[in-house]
Amino acid sequence: MAYRNLEIGHRGAVRTITVNRPDKLNALNRETLNELTLAFAQAAQDDAVRVVVLAGAGDKAFVAGADISQMNGYTAIEAQSFSRTGQRLMSSIERLGKPVLARIQGFALGGGMELAMCCHLRIASEKARFGQPEINLGLIPGFGGTQRLLRLAGRSAALELCLSGATITAQRAYELGIVNRVVAPEALDETVNALADQLAAAAPLAAASILDCVLQGGETSLDQGLEFETQAFALMFATEDMKEGTSAFLEKRKATFKGS
């Protein structure tokens, strides 16, 4: 289908979803949130898609935040609805069951940083900048920023970034564990594409199970998480992919995984 605020691209088993509002630094308004929700639902249901890359149009921003011009007139009830819409989207991305990579080339602020943090892996240009500046507007993060930042970077970093509203460099974000890799701007696409291709060639059922173990099991006690892992490990032995992977290893050939 056609989207007003997104561009959808395909490269083999990799689907790219690009927020396309460069004149607004790709800011998230309600329409864009709704379109992203639909685009990720379609990616989840399409068996031909094994990896999703999330990007922002233009050179200046991944997503510079929520659309303040729209938020400015909200009542408290409307703001609650907007927050829940954003949080549902972020949770659906996190629980997609397929690896999602954020390609971050510029500003990832406010809702943009929250959107990046719900992705499973984040690759940033050296020129990228991160921050939760909501406090400067008399607000707090509303799309999961306080919670995912806490889990990614720890309490001290979450409090510092949210209370100060400061913008940090990609290198500092890497040091805090917010991004996985920082690369030169000219190497960003090559790095993202190589990682996406690597993940697309991996066993999709195993990838989905790893995501479950880390994201769901990681929210439980250690003993519960270990039991979660044991059950998921056992289930892999009922898959054709496991038979293919182990056979390919023994036969010294490259495995071809079909997701069955």
Residues 114, 126, 190, 219: which is the catalytic one? 114
Active site residue 7: no
User: Exposed/middle/buried for 210, CB within 10 Å: 0-12, 13-18, 19+?
Assistant: middle
The residue type found at 48 is: A
Interatomic CA distance for residues 185 and 171, integer angstroms? 13
Give Cβ neighbours of residue 247 (< 8 Å, ≥ 6 apart).
255
Radius of gyration of the chain (CA): 19
Active site residue 114: yes
Beta-bridged to residue 114, according to DSSP, are none
Residues 7, 35, 126, 134: which is the catalytic one? 134
Is the dihedral angle over the CA atoms 139, 141, 143, 147 positive or is it negative? negative
Active-site residue list: 114, 134
